[in-house]
Amino acid sequence: MSHEERLAQLPPKLQQVVKALGSAPKILKTEMLLEFAKKMPPLPEGMEAKLEQVHECTTPFFVHAELEGPAVHLFFDAPKEAPTVRAFAGMLAEGLEGESPETVLSVPEDFYTLARLEEVVTPLRLRGLQAVLARIKRQVREAVSA
């Protein structure tokens, strides 16, 4: 499958995120990731108890996905001094917030390869991103079947 065909599989908002990162020169990618880190949504009051830790992340990182009607809502928590995981949260929030469960579940586990993040992010961190997406998908499946 070509790069363009794989991109077309992503929901439109996530496609925009991936295209922007994928087309950016390596030197700008880090700056863009720092901007995504700033976009990590604040955690609403009382949400802490619902969060699940993603143990594959080297930094303490927590995620919760829930359904409200036909829309998936994402919640994240990570230390302020952890810009990489906060960037992942910002990317996923921007790309998947409000999407349908089917859309979220259809995102390929390795979608980040389309953004060429391996140019600036270590394989260990990328496995963490993959684990975050896997947790989100599992939580969405559980919410759908509840």
3 has a pLDDT exceeding 90: no
Prediction pTM value: 0.93
pLDDT of 28 reads: 95
Please give the Cα distance from 71 to 78 (Å, whole number).
23
Q: State the maximum Cα–Cα separation within the chain, in Å, rounded to a whole number.
A: 45
Count of C-beta atoms within a 10 Å radius of residue 31 = 10
Q: What is the pLDDT of residues 81-107, one digit of tens each?
A: 999 999 999 999 999 999 999 999 999
What gap in Å lies between CA 133 and CA 26, rounded to an integer?
24
